[in-house]
Chains A and B, each alone.
Chain A
């Protein structure tokens, strides 16, 4: 980085070519004079490897005298311009040659970047989702779906069963409302209450089976949990979870009973009350599933088994049978009910696909199919367009954008849409009380 004069160049030239210093000097002067002469003669000189010198006219221009303020005219003149030729340009720019113009986006990561980072972020999510999901039932969208199901249940119940079951459905409706009111409650409380709603199921089942003659086997097993249940109405969630397990054992038993003995099954179907009981049950469970934000957790696993009873052939999945066996196994471990229940709820988390297949085999799934997100595959996550705001969500403590996606769309992989819709710059750093608009997603 220094100043080089013509004589310096002549010096180097002399060293390089073995010329005398004077010869090199005179050559360099001749070089410059030739350029000047060429410019004088026809206004331009092209030197290969260096560039083009041109003589350009600068026309007259008006200006103002700085001191007097008078308008003056600066006379036009001719100036020598120089344009390096491409070889010289590239050579000079070589240190920066690797740069290329890049298109700018709007400051947030592109779709592809988000999808790839999603997998990493999602991994840590699963453990807490089970409890977090309980809050999902508090939201309006989930409520709407729950109400739809309640209505559907009411209709079907009216067709199929007597008044006793209608009262059961009403009880369920109340329970649903009760559950939806627990918006801000902690996860455990919500679990407890949902468990209570579920308690209605075994009780009804047992009571109805008491009316049926020739069901001693069933009675013997089912009265036990029923009496147990009545005793500890006032007891805490510990006993509630016990009831859950008892209920699960009944389900497992019923399932095994159906599959193993066809003769008994026919007998079962002959008794009208028993049959209708089983029809109502899936509805109830489905409704619970809907309440849980379309993402069936602890409870919805039970309907999987329950529905299998009336429609075994409709469910191709082997895993459902496995699930039933697992639940049956837990029945034997009932001495540790709380632990077992926790284990079960975690275990059931990854079984979502099973529940989905079961759902699709049930008649009430129209409203579920209206939500195409259910059948999503990883490749589908870019197939939606955002169309307006579905609901505005105010962030609570501990919530993440991924959880919102799970809550509203039933699929946490769709969270980039929320980020994009809200134009969030840093989706890892959100504040409590921040308002997040949840977009409506439509299939492209």
Chain B
């Protein structure tokens, strides 16, 4: 399911035109982004948690040249599914 299909499905479920649904999705993402930038953990019960995690800097070696590089620290967005979601997909 790509983005287009996702919005079409969403508009069908909420009985809204696709344009309105697209706008709402965009606004929702803006809100999510703002929270991610403030290091908030977004907990969607029955789905999972979105969390910004900090990866520390590290030294890595290029195996072909043998040169050592310092990889800087970075922030990544991580998702961990909830148990509800896990059971939903694993229920026989």
Tell me the bound Cα distance from A36 to B1 in angstroms: 11
A102 CB to nearest chain B CB (Å): 5
Q: Which of A6-14, A208-216, A285-293, A339-347 contacts B (4 or more CB under 8 A)?
A: A6-14
- What secondary structure prevails in chain B residues at the interface with A? mixed
Return the chain B residue nearest A45 by Cβ.
B1
Asked if B77 and A34 make an inter-chain contact with CB atoms under 8 angstroms apart, the answer reads: no
A89 interface residue per 8 A CB criterion? yes
**Which among B5, B25, B37, B40 is the interface contact of A31 at CB below 8 angstroms?**
B25
A224 interface residue per 8 A CB criterion? no
Interface size band for B: 35 or more
**Which among A34, A41, A50, A93 is the interface contact of B10 at CB below 8 angstroms?**
A34
A334 interface residue per 8 A CB criterion? no
Asked if B86 and A79 make an inter-chain contact with CB atoms under 8 angstroms apart, the answer reads: yes
Asked if B45 and A100 make an inter-chain contact with CB atoms under 8 angstroms apart, the answer reads: no
Interface size band for A: 35 or more
B63 interface residue per 8 A CB criterion? no
Residues of A near B24 (CB, < 8 A) are: 13, 17, 27
B41 interface residue per 8 A CB criterion? yes
Given A27-B24, A38-B5: A92 in contact with B89 (beta carbons within 8 A): no
- B9-49 interface mask toward A, CB cutoff 8 Å, 1 = contact, 0 = none? 11001100000000111111101110111111111111110
Asked if A44 and B1 make an inter-chain contact with CB atoms under 8 angstroms apart, the answer reads: yes
Q: A32-B47, A36-B85, A88-B36 are in contact. List 9 more A-B contacts (CB 8 A).
A: A4-B35, A12-B31, A16-B27, A28-B28, A34-B6, A38-B6, A40-B88, A102-B69, A102-B72
Chain B interfacial positions (CB closer than 8 Å to A)? 1-3, 5-6, 9-10, 13-14, 23-29, 31-33, 35-48, 50, 52, 57, 59, 67-79, 81, 85-86, 88-90
